[in-house]
Amino acid sequence: MDKFSEPSREFVSLISREVDFKDRLIGSNLHERAGVKTISLYSLHELYMLLNKPYPQIDLHKMERWLRIVIRDEELAARIKTVMEQPGSDLEKLLHMRDLIGLRLIQCRAQDS
């Protein structure tokens, strides 16, 4: 997996922020006993946490658009779009996307220290 370009401090603060209610992303998680639980996502970190759950569910196209337009991470959105276009199950794609988002979060954390 290739690395992302090194983000500036300003960019890190931009993509690490929590977005407003109107800009949230809706996802869900299939819980074994409770069924489908809808989750409002306000940050890149919350998206990562959803994708870390056993049965995450999210509209891949909406997620890619949200990353590009709301979070404003063109590079991450482009990588996500590339993963979307690859063959395979949505679960495999979500796991790959989770890893990409995790890499971006690690970069942000390293920049903050």
Percent of the chain scoring above 70 in pLDDT = 96
Could you report the per-residue pLDDT of 28-63, keeping only the tens digit for each?
998 888 889 999 999 999 999 999 998 899 999 999
DSSP class of 73: -
- Using the predicted structure, report yes or no on whether residue 16 has a pLDDT greater than 70: yes
- Using the predicted structure, report yes or no on whether residue 111 has a pLDDT greater than 80: no
Angstrom distances, CA of residue 18 to CA of 14, 31, 43, 46, 95: 9, 25, 5, 9, 23
Q: For the residues 61-78, what does the mean pLDDT come to? A: 96
- Using the predicted structure, report yes or no on whether residue 2 has a pLDDT greater than 70: no
Q: What residues contact residue 59 under an 8 Å CB cut-off, 6+ apart?
A: none
d(CA 3, CA 84): 18
Domain limits of the chain? 9-112
Given this model, what pLDDT does residue 1 score?
A: 52
Rounded to two decimals, the pTM is 0.91
Q: What residues contact residue 88 under an 8 Å CB cut-off, 6+ apart?
A: none
Mean pLDDT for the chain overall: 92
